[in-house]
Structure 1
Amino acid sequence: KGIPSETIRLLASIVLKENVFVYGKKIYQQVLGGAMGSLFTLTLANIFMWKWHKELVRRQDMTENANTWHPNIKLEYKIGKSLLFLDVLLTNINGALSTSAYHKPAAEPYVVPFISDHPRHVFENIVQTSLRRAIKYSLTFQSFNDERRYIKSTFLYNGSVYC
């Protein structure tokens, strides 16, 4: 029949919470985790990793399943310090959230050519919208200046007279 689950949980708690060791003729209590080399601690680590891996696989399967719903909508599962969301790049810099404008490589650095026959207000709106986006998405003055320089070079590349 085996040992009841509750007994195993209680024993695991004792092993993890009451772990002491001697170093330099002093007694220390380990307050987090278990003793390295202990067979029981190794078993607990394997159980933890198995459970964590099982959840990771479940999330990846969910993403793959969602990608079958529509041919034009694809989701990506990513782990890292930055995340793309629409046209914003969110970045974790030492625990602080930073945002900046993101430019899709396939679409940039092109805008409506300034030599085209579009009405003048179209070009003015492109400039205003680009600057608004830079202000809105740039969390720091440095990222705003980087984006402003990017906008200027993009407009010059496309023949702008507004720079």
Structure 2
Amino acid sequence: PQEESLDILIEFLLQYDYQKVQNIPIDIIRKLALIFINENVFVYEKKFYRRVIGGAMGSAFTLTLANIFMWKWEKQLVHRLKVSNEIYGRCVDDIFFTSNDSLESIDQMLDEANNFHPNIKLVRQIGRSAPFLDVLIENRKGTLITSVYHKEAAEPYVVPFGSNHPDHVFRNTVDTAITRAVRYSTAVSEFEEEIRQMKLMFVYNG
């Protein structure tokens, strides 16, 4: 919904009292954004196509516009959770929130959220534990515990240490894995288990 996205962009700017951005009036910003969206073309099998829905993947502006679009969409949901003093987080199109409501109430809230806009549909995962990006979050007797999340289909594979790469690539691989384990592991037991899996992965990769 390109025109709708631009309307929401202007609504967002006005919401936060922006009449200009870096001395550019918001009506000019809308016109420039419209040019960017409307003149977005690509080539497939030697034919030119113009995009009429959505925006170009990988474009910084498309990502910004998508986040502003989601800002509009999530306002009602965030307000409801904020009133209940719950936790809410979103990264692009992945959402995590806590709730002490009944399962029926949560399902109803998500069903209502699915009706906010026809182009946005939620796939839900509800339980005492749930993955959010690469973090596993668990509710253990009212306390949130986090650890590193590994998808079931994920292979224990990194850049082989015997491959022809600069040394910093291997150092960064190890540093990143250790840093993630430290940051994500609430308890020592989770950290130790992640270190054990890391060692096996590194041995497997030579």
TM-score by length of 1: 0.55
1:110 is aligned, of 157, 162, 166, to 157
Q: Is the radius of gyration larger for structure 1 or structure 2?
A: 1
Quote the RMSD (CA, aligned, Å): 2.6
Determine the structure 2 residue equivalent to 1:130: 177
Output the CA distance in 2 between the equivalents of 1:134 and 1:143.
8
Aligned length: 104
Q: 1:106 to 1:83 in 2, by over 3 A?
A: same
1:77-116 matched pairs, under 5 angstroms: 77-116=124-163
Deviates more, 1:119-128 or 1:99-108: 99-108
Which residue of 1 is the match for residue 205 of structure 2?
Answer: 158
Shift of 1:105: 2.7
Take 1:110 and 1:135, find their aligned partners in 2: how far apart are those partners? 20
Supply the AA of the counterpart residue of 1:139: T
Spell out, residue by residue over 1:123-152, the C-alpha distance to the aligned partner (whole angstroms, 9 max, x if none): 011001100110000001111000000100
Identity of aligned residues (%): 46
Structure-to-structure mapping, 1:1-163, within 5 angstroms? 53=104, 56-57=107-108, 59-60=110-111, 62-63=113-114, 68-69=119-120, 75-159=122-206
- Structure 1 residue runs of 5 or longer lacking an equivalent are 1-51
When the two structures are superposed, what TM-score results if normalisation uses the length of structure 2? 0.44
Query: Structure 1 84/66 Cα, relative in aligned 2: closer, same or farther at 3 Å?
Result: farther
Aligned-partner Cα distance in 1 for 2:145–2:130: 11
Structure 1 residues 76, 135: closer, same or farther in 2, change over 3 A? Answer: same
